[in-house]
Amino acid sequence: MSGTHGDELAIHGIECFGHHGVFDFERREGQQFVIDLALGLDTRAAAASDDLRDTVDYGSLVASVQAAVETDPVDLIETLAQRIADVCLLDDRVDWARVTVHKPDAPIDATFADVALTITRRREGRP
């Protein structure tokens, strides 16, 4: 997927601890979630000015994503992924956001490496 201008900012492996899940023990004990983000935006203004104010401050974004994961438990990673996408789209410069929520300790009675959901959300009115 590419943005209007083909620029993509990616942040991989954001580690968070949350209390999301359908089961009582997940809500009570919590578990690790790992978040990957990709944002479509036009970075030409920031490249020309060399000024952080002209682009997405990914340090602040990561802090906001961590806060979104670490508060207000929900049952489904689908709900959590949408919440994170909404946080990413708060910045008007972001055309689209691709969010992957990894739940490596999901309660599955089998040997597995990871459970992950990826969603892509576009800002309304943008191609």
Q: Would you name the residues annotated as active-site residues?
A: 103
CA dist 60 and 125 (Å) reads 26
Q: How far is the C-alpha of 59 from the C-alpha of 22, rounded, in Å?
A: 31
Token code pair at residue 34: 């790992």
Give 50-77 as a 3 state SS string. Answer: CCHHHCCCHHHHHHHHHHHHHCCCCCCH
Cα 114 to Cα 36, 84, 105, distances in angstroms: 13, 19, 7
DSSP label at residue 36: E
